[in-house]
Chain A
Amino acid sequence: MRGAAKVGVKQSPPMGEQEASTGGGLDGSTRAANAERLVAALRRGDEDAFRKLVEEHGPFLMRLALMHVPSRAIAEEVVQDTWLAVLNGIDRFEGRSSLRTWIASILLNNARTRGQRERRVLPFSFLRRRAEEGRDEPVVSPDRFQSVHDSYPGHWARPPAEWDSPEERLSTEEARRVLLAAIAKLPIRQREVIALRDISGWSAAETRNALGLSETNQRVLLHRARSKVRAALEPHFEADELTR
């Protein structure tokens, strides 16, 4: 029916549809119904429907793209390519996964490929980071805890200090810079998980489906990511104490 659907689609959604059944579980039927309506309108070529989709899903797509590529300009290209693939593939979207899970998997396919290509010409920090991907260092430095020679092994040697008015202090420009810098240092899989779960507020099930992760894997990656971001914020508060 639609000729354009046949051209220019380099990839179909990479994630197996079989995990999709649980993906919509926490979505709420309203969102699913909305998505269904938008998809139908989009197939008819409705520009407003397209604008609505871009408005709704643009932010997380841009966020995810930025996790993979070194510049905004490239991230924008990745997002644009993703939307074109969505348009060209919309006739094949069967609603077995949630719409945003499907869109996310297309973006990730694009962004990972693009990210790898860009990284070939990037500085050592990127290479080093890639080498660190698999390393399983403890999420809290071991010297924060008492050793077997101390009176309470496994208990805090240097306990974390309570953060003073965290809500206020974490919404400053400086705190945001610290947050984003901490995320940028994470291995890529951890970055993807924390972007979907904590920055975009997705459920564990949807995140798992979009990224093709097992339940345990998703949780471990999230755990490492969150723990490291918390650790990065800690000095921010301590330094603050000193200067106040």
Chain B
Amino acid sequence: MNEVETPKMSCKELVDVITEYLEDTLPTEDRGRFERHVAGCDGCQAYLDQMRETIRALGHLPPESLSAEAERTLLEAFRGWREAARWAE
């Protein structure tokens, strides 16, 4: 009976709301529709897995940093700032 009020989610709709699902901001009813759909759809299961893998890979990019030279310059600037501050006191 509920089927009439809550139409099944299509794959197209699923890819549009996937971030809301992952962010846990999807309304309860849509969350249910989302999960029921994924349970019966290999394509969307793969899509969901791929989104999670993408997020994981982004989190594992090697960290960026200043070059050693830029960091040295920065520390010199820090000492300059400290000196200026002391003189001003």
A residues lining the B interface (CB < 8 Å): 1-5, 7, 45, 47, 50-51, 54, 58-59, 62-63, 66, 72, 76, 79-80, 83-84, 87-88, 139-140, 145, 153-156, 159-163, 166-167, 170-171, 175-176, 179-180, 194, 198-199, 201, 204, 219, 222-223, 226-227, 229-230, 233-234
Contact = CB atoms under 8 A, between A and B. Distances in A.
A163 B64 contact: no
Interface residues of B, number: 51
Given A47-B79, A80-B74, A229-B58, A4 B15 contact: no
B47 A166 contact: no
B23 A139 contact: no
Contacts of A171: 57, 60
A4 B57 contact: no
List of 8 A-B pairs having minimum Cβ-Cβ separation, nearest first: A3-B88, A159-B43, A154-B10, A223-B19, A62-B64, A198-B58, A170-B57, A59-B63
Contacts of A153: 10
Contacts of B36: none
A76 B50 contact: no
Contacts of A175: 57
A233 B81 CA distance: 46
5 contacts: A66-B64, A156-B44, A199-B61, A229-B58, A230-B50
B13 interface: yes
Nearest to B51: A230
A137 to B, nearest CB: 13
B52 to A, nearest CB: 9
B27 interface: no
A3 B75 contact: no
A115 B13 CA distance: 36
B55 A198 contact: yes
B59 A58 contact: no
B4 interface: no
A227 B54 CA distance: 9
A176 B60 CA distance: 9
